[in-house]
Amino acid sequence: MTSLFFDADDLTGMRSTQDGHMQDECVTQARVQTADTYNQLIDTYPVDSAAIICGLDMRPGIERHMPDGNTVTYDATIRLPIATVVLTTDRIKITKRFGETLAVPLVYEIMSPIQRGPSGLRYALRRLEL
């Protein structure tokens, strides 16, 4: 009888293939909230993570994510390795595109909940003009 589940070798192979097709590089920026003189919270993103391989797809789209029918409009999607730790409050900064360093990095905010597949993670992104 054939199993319906992936075994460890299947998952390792799929993840290796997925990682091998990620041609971009990014860093994550964790949100830090501080209070100003009026005690209003201000979001800052002061620290970049170590570089992470990624796959940026710059095709925009719309997806439904909530049971009540709310939709999310996004500018791009990103694929990340399965072990990457990213919070939906983080920013993603693309530093290399197709292996070449960008003169001006592309900065995105995360617009969707994590979409975890057997070989990687996927997020919908909205571009920020800083």
Contact, 118 vs 99, CB < 8 A?
A: no
Per-residue pLDDT, 98: 94
Residue 104 inside a domain? The answer is yes
Tens-digit pLDDT profile for residues 40-85: 999 999 999 999 999 999 999 987 766 677 788 899 999 999 989 9
Number of compact structural domains in the chain: 1
**What's the pLDDT score for residue 91?**
97
CATH of the domain at 106: 2.40.10.270
Residue 4 lies in a domain: no
In a domain, 11, yes or no: no
Confirm whether 50 is domain-assigned.
yes
Lowest mean pLDDT among 15-19, 94-98, 104-108: 15-19
- Provide the domain limits for residue 38: 23-128
CA–CA gap between residue 57 and residue 80 (Å, rounded): 12
Type of residue numbered 77: T
The beta strands (E) that lie in 59-128 are given as 61-64, 71-74, 76-81, 91-97, 100-110, 115-116, 120-128
pLDDT in tens, 98-114: 999 999 999 999 998 88
